[in-house]
Amino acid sequence: MQLTLTRPDDWHLHLRDGPVLADVVPHSARQCGRAIIMPNLKPPVVSTHQALDYRERILAAVPAGVDFTPLMTLYLTDNLSPEEIRTAAASGHVYAVKLYPAGATTHSDAGVTDIQHTLPTLEAMAEAGLPLLVHGEVTDPDIDIFDREAVFIERHLEPLVRRLPELKLVLEHITTRQGIEFVQGSGPNVAGTLTAHHLLYNRNAMLVGGIRPHYYCLPVLKRESHREALITAATSGSPKFFLGTDSAPHPQHAKESACGCAGLYTAHAAIEFYAEAFEQANALDKLEGFASHHGADFYGLPRNTDTITLVREPWTVPESYPLADAKVIPLRAGGEIAWRLQL
Ligand SMILES: NC(=O)N[C@@H](CC(=O)O)C(=O)O
Ligand SMILES: [Zn+2]
Ligand SMILES: [Zn+2]
């Protein structure tokens, strides 16, 4: 069996920086035409100038003969100015701004402490048509980690959408039924990305039979009823939902630790994982819209014109991939994947 689709794009990707680029960029570049590159470097990408420099370093790691366009983003802080938004939009290479609540996830210390502080900047974004990408979790220590997405929507996103109804907004890596309902209940300028791992796994994968750090990410995997809501949305054909892997490489030692980092590495087989999830839901006919059309349409970019082909031919994922002088343990390490990308 074979499946040919318009080349997908990844609307949420972490590539990191420095020598690891040479190891991780080729994985995404062989599948995706474009990717929205997350700005949570250390220090974060907070200016157009930094984003353009980072873009050059990514391009230098794209293998010869491969066409891959990094779509850069800025990291929203309490201090990002409306002027910088206009510069970013005019650069032609910055496509969105990322909101991390301070302390919510990996490298988010510089994040926003109060969305109210950023309103003039968000207004400039609405004017420029630059989307706000949201890591939607509260950081309030009183809120249970499994409830942090739902509470963020109620406390912050719903008021924000009421305050700035014209702002384009993407709720990233949705993990709950409440996240899906928020996107469905909002206007056409509000969309959501879904990761392959949240479509394939519930929290048992992380916690049954031992604690499995390579399934730990933020927002954390949720219970099965939430996963089912994500699958229903992804396979619904709604243009509001599209592919964003959130592939987030961490060195093996940083994850296999008493305090392991959040993030799953899925870029080595992203489209194959999504194909598996859609096949399980009997909805392979909906994969192309989700992976290759809806995101480009939302961002107002042309769809890719070339195609990829997946063949139903199982292969075994390596136990690890190199990550500069360390290793990254990919999702499904040592296990089988049903679909293979034909090169
Ligand atoms: N998803 C994760 O668990 N981690 C991401 C950050 C993020 O997307 O929140 C990372 O940068 O490692
Ligand atoms: Zn995030
Ligand atoms: Zn992410």
Distance in Å, CA 173 to ligand 2 centroid: 7
Q: What one-character DSSP code corresponds to residue 269?
A: G
Backbone φ and ψ for 39, nearest 5 degrees, come out as -95, 15
Closest ligand, as measured to the CA of 36: 3
- Ligand 1 pocket residue status of 84, Cβ below 6 Å: no
15 known member of a binding site: yes
Record the tokens describing residue 41, joined without a space. Answer: 């470097």
* Tens place of pLDDT per residue across the chain (343 aa): 999 999 999 999 999 999 999 999 999 999 999 999 999 999 999 999 999 999 999 999 999 999 999 999 999 999 999 999 999 999 999 999 999 999 888 888 889 999 999 999 999 999 999 999 999 999 999 999 999 999 999 999 999 999 999 999 999 999 999 999 999 999 999 999 999 999 999 999 999 999 999 999 999 999 999 999 999 999 999 999 999 999 999 999 999 999 999 999 999 999 999 999 999 999 999 999 999 999 999 999 999 999 999 999 999 999 999 999 999 999 999 999 999 999 8
Q: What is the pTM of this model?
A: 0.98
Q: What phi-psi label fits residue 259: left (phi over 0), alpha (psi between -120 and 50 degrees) or beta?
A: beta
Q: 68 with 29: CB under 8 angstroms?
A: yes
Helix or strand holding residue 46 (H, E): none
Helices (H) then strands (E): counts for the chain: 14, 13
Residue (of 343, 284, 11, 25) closest to 173 by Cα position: 11
ipTM: 0.98
CATH numbers and ranges of domains, the chain: 2-342 (3.20.20.140)
- Ligand 1 pocket residue status of 217, Cβ below 6 Å: yes
Return d(Cα 39, Cα 52) in angstroms, integer. 12
* Catalytic-residue membership of 306: no
**Exposure b/e, 262-273, CB count within 10 A at least 16 = b:** bbbbbbbbbbbb
Largest CA distance in the chain: 53
